[in-house]
């Protein structure tokens, strides 16, 4: 019975997540509460059977008599697990991130950036761009400084510095950069301008400035535009200059 109830709860949550859109349901809270609900189902089932079966009722009475010692032993043994459980609840309540948010965390190997895949009772699972899984204890996620790159409240700026040879047709270069940025939707929401920002000994540097919905979109647009800009400038016969050389004009 308990197994059937737990399975029904899991299927109901899965169906709710499949039908509801990301903006209409809190996927992080649902996934976490579903796991808590399954544990409660098994605990309630055990308590129910213990009440019905006399031997189990006697066992429960015996366990209560040694509850003081057992609680100390269990508390020491499960200190880390309980800490992760409570930290998971705080992550659900305070919501520093949500499922599918792109976050940056500190791990023993250095800084890592990944997408929040799921929040379990003990761990937060991140998926990196190269398909690795980073498993971080909830207690660590709740206490360390986590950078949420999925900013939904403010647009992220995008600035690409492109150096071309001093004899290049700047009007042609500027037109190519602006056209490519305008075609990069939905990663680019607004194209601002493309002024000359530096003069080097062998290069003129233009900076393509735009806005994106969030930091993740800005990163995708940056990678995409660099590749397309290189291809289009080479097709137009424009020499890309790098390094820029000595700068003789700076922005104020």
Chain position carrying tokens 């609840």? 89
Per-residue confidence at 28, pLDDT binned at 50, 70, 90? low
In the DSSP assignment, the letter for residue 1 is: -
In the DSSP assignment, the letter for residue 241 is: P
Q: Could you report the per-residue pLDDT of 113-157, keeping only the tens digit for each?
A: 999 998 888 889 999 988 899 999 999 998 998 888 875 556 788
Asked if residues 41 and 6 have their Cβ atoms less than 8 Å apart, the reply is: yes
235 or 83, greater pLDDT: 235
What radius of gyration do the chain's Cα atoms show?
28
The per-residue pLDDT of the chain, averaged, comes to 77
Asked if residues 27 and 66 have their Cβ atoms less than 8 Å apart, the reply is: no
Domain 156-235: which CATH number of 3.30.70.360, 2.60.40.10, 3.30.70.100, 3.40.50.300: 3.30.70.100
In sequence order, what are the residues at sequence separation of 6 or more whose Cβ sits closer than 8 angstroms to the Cβ of residue 37?
9
Q: Which of 165, 185, 197 is nearest to 225 (CA)?
A: 185
82 or 238, greater pLDDT: 238
Query: What is the percentage of the chain residues whose pLDDT exceeds 70?
Result: 63
56 or 209, greater pLDDT: 209
Domain boundaries, the chain: 2-148, 156-235
Q: Could you report the per-residue pLDDT of 199-210, keeping only the tens digit for each?
A: 877 789 999 999
What is the mean pLDDT of the segment spanning 83-109?
86
In the DSSP assignment, the letter for residue 25 is: S
């Amino acid at each position: 019975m308990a197994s059937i109830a737990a399975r029904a709860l899991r299927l109901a949550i899965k169906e709710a997540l499949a039908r509801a859109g990301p903006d209409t349901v809190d996927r992080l809270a649902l996934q976490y509460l579903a796991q808590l609900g399954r544990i409660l189902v098994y605990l309630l089932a055990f308590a129910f059977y213990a009440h019905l079966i006399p031997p189990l009722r006697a066992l429960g009475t015996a366990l209560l008599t040694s509850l003081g010692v057992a609680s100390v032993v269990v508390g020491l043994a499960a200190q880390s697990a309980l800490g992760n459980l409570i930290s998971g609840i705080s992550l659900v309540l305070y919501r520093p991130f949500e499922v599918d948010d792109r976050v940056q965390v500190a791990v023993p190997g250095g800084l890592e950036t990944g997408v929040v895949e799921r929040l379990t009772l003990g761990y937060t699972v991140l998926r990196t761009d190269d398909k690795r899984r980073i498993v971080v204890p909830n207690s660590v996620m709740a206490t360390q400084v986590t950078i949420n790159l999925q900013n939904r409240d403010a647009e992220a700026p995008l600035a690409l510095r492109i150096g071309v040879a001093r004899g290049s047709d700047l009007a042609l270069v500027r037109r190519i950069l602006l056209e490519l940025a305008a075609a990069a939707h939905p990663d680019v929401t607004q194209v601002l301008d493309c002024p000359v920002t530096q003069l080097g000994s062998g290069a003129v540097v233009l900076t393509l400035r735009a806005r994106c919905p969030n930091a993740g979109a800005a990163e995708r647009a940056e990678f995409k535009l660099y590749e397309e800009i290189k291809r289009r400038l080479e097709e137009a016969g424009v020499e890309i200059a790098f390094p820029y050389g000595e700068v003789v004009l700076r922005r104020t």
